[in-house]
Amino acid sequence: MVGKLNEEGYKDLVLVDDFTREDKFKNLEGKTFKEKIERDKFPEWLRNNHRLTQFVFHLGARTDTTEFDKKIFDKLNLNYSKEVWNICVEYGLPLVYASSAATYGGGEFGYEDDHALVEKLKPLNPYGDSKNDFDKWVLKQACKPGFWAGLKFFNVYGPNEYHKGRMASVVFHAFNQIKKDGKVKLFRSHNPKYKDGEQLRDFIYVKDVTAVCIWLLKDRKHSAIYNLGSGKARTFLDLTKNVFAALGEKSEIEFIDTPADIRDKYQYFTEATMEKLRTAGCEIKFHTLEEGVKDYVENYLEHNKHY
């Protein structure tokens, strides 16, 4: 996002994060920004500097779907987000924040980004709960920023996820497994409706995510919670075969049991309905899975390059 903002001519940026992680430093190399503020100090900084602030992107969160300590999510994803929201309301600052497709749980209510559905949704883990709890809270607020948008990110992949460990995309893990072993291990299906590797997800390239964020920054007309996916579910086999193809290698795929700690919390299908964002006027053409994986592998992973 910082790189994309720089490309668009925005250089006077204030970055907010936990900056103790050295493995994230490379993401900021070559980027132009004004200063870095530690996450815990940002609310106070924003109150003191609201007159100099034009727009807030609140994309940071605890995203570990294998973490089950609700207190961590309450602190970082729910209460912190409420504080940022309230400051933006108080000083009239536009806000875009990250929600998640994890809010849709098993998909029993579909994948429509309809505000009326938010109260009904049943996420499968505390991470999804925390994101949905904030969405529910937002919709109940009588006072809102002049412009705001919540983005339900689906399965995002792309450059600058070297630091993410287990939570990095399947593209990233597949690339590294192919380089190391010449094959990829995918989770076996534990659902009789889906064959091994034919679990379906909506994979969205990170460059499309940032393009939509920039569009919202410039447009600022239609406040709402929006889905942000490609709009087309694809199988993990499709994804993996595209990584092999980008490397010019023959596909070799092995199936392993889904880890017990996430097996009963696993989404077998996600697919964003994208009409709402398109109706709001967003005409950005997204990468196909083939285009996104090829760009990511050939231009970034193969050269250990950052965006």
Taking only the tens place, the pLDDT of each residue in 111-127 is 999 999 999 999 999 99
Q: State the average pLDDT over residues 77-98.
A: 98
Contact (CB, 8 A) for 22 and 66: no
**Per-residue pLDDT reduced to its tens digit, 235-286:** 999 999 999 999 999 999 999 999 888 888 889 999 999 999 999 999 999 9
The CA–CA distances, whole Å, from 41 to 14, 21, 84, 155 equal: 12, 17, 11, 30
Predicted confidence band of residue 102 (pLDDT cuts 50, 70, 90) = very high
Distance between CA atoms of 162 and 134, rounded to whole angstroms? 28
Closest CA to 150 of 229, 95, 84, 88: 95
Task: At 70, list the tokens.
Answer: 């609700």
Rounded Cα distance between 161 and 180, Å, is 18
Q: What radius of gyration do the chain's Cα atoms show?
A: 19
* Residue 203 dihedral angles phi and psi, to the nearest 5°: -95, 130
Pull the structure tokens for residue 227.
């889905």
DSSP 3-state assignment of 38? strand
- Where do the domains of the chain lie, and which CATH numbers do they carry? 2-157+201-232+268-286 (3.40.50.720)
* pLDDT given for residue 262 in this prediction: 84
pLDDT in tens, 19-61: 999 999 999 999 999 999 999 999 999 999 999 999 999 999 9
* Residue 178 binned pLDDT confidence (cut-offs 50, 70, 90): very high
What pLDDT does residue 265 have?
A: 84
Task: Report the predicted TM-score, pTM, of the whole model to 2 decimal places.
Answer: 0.95
Residues 68-94, mean pLDDT to the nearest whole number = 95
Would you say residue 66 has pLDDT above 80?
A: no
Q: Which ranges constitute the DSSP H helices of the chain? A: 2-7, 42-49, 70-73, 80-91, 126-140, 170-181, 206-219, 236-247, 260-263, 275-279, 289-299
Active site annotation includes 307: no
Name the catalytic one among 26, 136, 164, 183: 164
State residue 33's pLDDT score: 98
Q: One of 111, 127, 157, 226 is an active-site residue; which one?
A: 127
Chain length of the chain: 307
Residue 65 reports pLDDT greater than 90: no
Region 49-76: mean pLDDT is 92
Whether 193 is catalytic is no
